[in-house]
Amino acid sequence: MRFFVLCILAWLPLWKVGTVVAGLPVRPPGTPTVRKHLVYLRDKANTPYSLSAPQRFLTARSLARRTHQNISLLPRDLPVDPAYVAQVQAVAGAKVWYTSRWFNAVVVECDSTVLAVVQALPCVRSARTLNRSAATSAPLPVQAGAPVAARPAGTRADYGNAYAQAHQIGADVMHDAGFRGEGMHIAVFDGGFPGVNTGSVFASLYQQNRLASVYNFVGRDQNVYQYDDHGTLVLSTLAGNQPGVFIGTAPQATYYLFVTEEVASEHPVEEVNWLIAAERADSLGVDIINSSLGYNTFDAPSVDYAYTDLDGRTALSTRAATVAARVGMLVVNSAGNEGNNRWLYLLAPADADSILTVGAVDSLGTRARFSSIGPAADGRLKPNVSAMGQQAAFVYPSGAIGRGNGTSFASPIAAGLAAGFWQAHPTLTAQEVIDYLQRSASQATAPDNLLGYGIPNFGRAQQVAAGIPLPTAPVAGVGNLVHLYPNPVPAGAATCTLQLPAEWRAQPLEVRLYDARGALVSALTLPAPNAPTVQLPTTALRPGVYSCRVGRVGQPLYTVRLLRL
């Protein structure tokens, strides 16, 4: 677990709990080590579930989300075959914790001897060890919060210290327009939510019945109001709703609080908790997932990820986030706080395509030095956008207002903007919401791997959605300008023209096109044109928005946007 709070008020260290937990039983010498394992099953050939009867495993809200976005049900949506689960459970010493529809797998706790028996079952394809077992903390009592009087938000005084982060992205304008997240369902994955059940800033969640579900995937219970307070801080930037004290960016949304992070250790089991939580969110009909989490290094014996693994296809959590996006949820994830250390780059699952990865800026819009940079290992632009994560305001479990640094805060602040904008445009798909927010951002015409498309803004996104052209500027080349025209490219046009700076005309060029999800569409290496323009083929491009990255071979690439009608 890597919580993306770089520091709180600059004097607390990056959150990390030691692995010594008082009161845990000591394992006698020679006793096999019990670990959790992800056991992949062979198929779903004989499952009693059917895609023609999805109401057996998906709620009406989940199905409606798919229907609205024209997303078909696929075999991955089917639950695992219960007969296979029964076979695994029948092995003495094997404890099944969870099943995964998307990965067709079960999470099994057992020692290595039992695992060998499980792997020999005809229904099992393979297995991957996730962690060492660890006891969970005792739950704390749940208490009801006191109600607060509601009144419209809109003034600086209403937001308190949260004003700058809301105003920077136009969330205050969004709220005044009547879009505070009403009807939007947001799941927050984190390590604990102490004080949420007692804090005044969260009281309206209970008063208005907007806390739809809570679950602790570490302990398999509903004790979420304990453990680390990182989740509380993150949630406050979204759901805080105490006018005159603190208002988050989606103060009227409906929330789901899911604990996915182990307290005492760091292993890939947390990524599987993320997966299972995402499947739960999907089945319940959640619209948006906020995950201020990331993974790259683990405790022994688990193997660390390398930067080359952050290719959108390798990390467990990345694969889970990708499927979550494929089923129509908008996944918003912190980029990470690695920008000023040796790692530099984003962490999993921020490398997933089709999700909104968020970097951090300060109140003036300057990139926070700690904010992780892109690209993803396969060259895709990351982060997608950025929001305030340096000296961002939040609420402690005690109710005190604090400030801290981390993309942990940039992510939920941006997620609240996405919720309000989606509420304002309910016919959009999740991917269209991402596209509009990117097009609204401060450097939409010149995205880079530091801030992505820049800082999104509700007002500008409204203009884009209404078809009102935004003022744009071409991307600066080496002493000249890079242009693509005509842009938009008309339907049926076979080519578009790329105008080149003089410095590029005598060298081979590299051109890469990425679609709105960040997937690579084409990669071209062109011979030295020795001309001011070259023609790029567009016949194979479907209608949509593309990022065209172009430059001299072996040199940094510049990015310009291309719209295909």
| pLDDT tens digits, 124-171 | 999 999 986 444 433 333 333 333 333 344 568 899 999 999 999 999
Distance of CA 4 to the CA centre of its chain: 12
Measure the CA angle with vertex 412, ends 317 and 325; round to 5°: 40
> H/E element holding 45?
none
Type of residue numbered 198: T
| pLDDT tens digits, 481-518 | 677 888 778 888 899 988 888 888 898 999 988 876 66
Q: Burial letters for 505-537: b for 16+ Cβ neighbours within 10 Å, e otherwise?
A: eebebbbbbbbbbbeebeeeebeebeeeebebe
- In CATH terms, the fold of domain 475-564 is Immunoglobulin-like (2.60.40)
pTM, to two decimals: 0.80
Q: What CATH number was assigned to the domain covering residues 159-465?
A: 3.40.50.200
Cβ–Cβ under 8 Å, residues 195 and 399: yes
Positions marked active-site: 190, 230, 408
Distance CA 339, CA 325 (A): 26
Q: Which two tokens stand for residue 107?
A: 């999470």
Write the Ramachandran bin of 391: left for phi over 0, alpha for psi from -120 to 50, otherwise beta: left
Burial (CB count <10 Å: 0-12, 13-18, 19+), residue 401: middle
Tell whether the torsion through CA atoms of 127, 128, 134 and 136 is positive or negative: negative
**What's the N-to-C CA distance of the chain in angstroms?**
43
Give backbone dihedrals phi and psi of 183, rounded to 5 degrees, phi first.
85, -10
Residue-by-residue pLDDT tens, the chain, 565 positions: 455 444 443 323 233 322 222 333 344 444 567 899 999 999 999 999 999 999 999 999 999 999 999 999 999 999 999 999 999 999 999 999 999 999 999 999 999 999 999 999 999 999 999 986 444 433 333 333 333 333 344 568 899 999 999 999 999 999 999 999 999 999 999 999 999 999 999 999 999 999 999 999 999 999 999 999 999 999 999 999 999 999 999 999 999 999 999 877 788 999 999 999 999 999 999 999 999 999 999 888 889 999 999 999 999 999 999 999 999 999 999 999 999 999 999 999 999 999 999 999 999 999 999 999 999 999 999 999 999 999 999 999 999 999 999 999 999 999 999 999 999 999 999 999 999 999 999 999 889 999 999 999 999 999 888 876 665 444 444 434 677 888 778 888 899 988 888 888 898 999 988 876 667 888 899 999 898 889 999 988 988 778 788 888 877 677 777 888 8
Nearest alpha carbon to residue 124 among 74, 76, 85: 85
Domain ranges of the chain: 35-132, 159-465, 475-564
Strand partners, 525: 510
For 463, which DSSP code? H
